[in-house]
Amino acid sequence: MFTSIKTPRVYDQVIEQIKSKIKSGEIKKGDKLPSEREMAELLSVSRTSVREAIKALEVIGLIESRQGAGNYIRTNFNNSLFEPLSVMFMLQESSLEEMYDLRKTLELECARLAAENIKDAEIEHLSAILDRMYESLTEEQSLELDIKFHYVIAKASRNVLLINILEVISQLMDEFIKTSRMQILHEGKNREKLLSTHENIVKALKLNDKEKVSEAMYEHFDLIWKAYGY
């Protein structure tokens, strides 16, 4: 299953072999890894090197360690700590334009795919969220509903990779939505415009019309861009 390692930075090579087995399909979601002792013997490395590799993979959320049960490949990555990527983006101090382009690119394609794949229950969920957005009396609640609205659409795309990317950078996206709303709502009349763009998105999704969904999303992002004075 594994091959002997005889190179510097041994724990990196352990990680590479585990990743290789995942890529080839030999190791799948939910599989239990051999014990540290077994892996050390199979790879001809120290248990310390195996332990370092497991810890590194646990930190990025690929592996979960279950007390008394061993190490497993995760089955659910929704709440995993792939946030280092999000933190890395924050440390790079990405510009407003870069953040805008990233969110627009990802969410526009998610919405177009959602137009084809969205379920009736998800349409109802979006409509319910929209109703609550109209009724909301606080910005804190409105922000929470706005974030939820966009993630329902992302999940309705049925594209696991796009969904995972958005979840990986969720902290970054949520903060951008927050600051965008603050900028838009700086002018009181924009609240109705913002709600209207969300309503148009829901209407287009109900029609399963990719072009109308695209138009509605462009309208939404155009409002954001103009609010920043561009």
Q: In this structure, what CATH number is given to the domain that contains residue 29? A: 1.10.10.10
Length of the chain: 230
Are residue 134 and residue 189 in the same domain, yes or no? Answer: yes
pLDDT at res. 131: 97
Highest mean pLDDT among 83-92, 182-191, 209-218, 219-228: 209-218
132 pLDDT tier (thresholds 50, 70, 90): very high
Are residue 55 and residue 88 in the same domain, yes or no? Answer: no
> Long-range pairs for 94-103 at CB < 8 Å and ≥24 separation?
96/228, 99/172, 99/176, 100/176, 100/221, 100/224, 100/225, 100/228, 102/169, 103/173, 103/176, 103/221
Domain count of the chain? 2
* Mean pLDDT over the full length of the chain: 86
Q: Is the pTM of this model over 0.75?
A: no
Q: Which residue has the higher pLDDT, 21 or 194?
A: 194
Last residue of a domain, one of 18, 44, 73: 73
pLDDT at res. 19: 83
1 pLDDT tier (thresholds 50, 70, 90): low
Task: Tell me the C-alpha to C-alpha distance, in Å, between residue 187 and each of 3, 90, 111, 154.
Answer: 63, 28, 27, 28
Q: Which residue has the higher pLDDT, 112 or 53?
A: 112
Whether 48 is in a domain gets the answer: yes
Are residue 64 and residue 92 in the same domain, yes or no? Answer: no
Are residue 147 and residue 55 in the same domain, yes or no? Answer: no
pLDDT at res. 69: 86
* Separation of alpha carbons 4 and 44, rounded Å: 5
Q: What is the mean pLDDT of residues 151-155?
A: 96
Whether 154 is in a domain gets the answer: yes
pLDDT at res. 187: 75
Q: What is the mean pLDDT of residues 27-55?
A: 89
175 pLDDT tier (thresholds 50, 70, 90): confident
Domain enclosing residue 25, as ranges:
10-73
Are residue 23 and residue 121 in the same domain, yes or no? Answer: no
Residue 145 has pLDDT above 90, yes or no: yes
pLDDT in tens, 189-222: 889 999 999 999 999 999 999 999 999 999 999 9
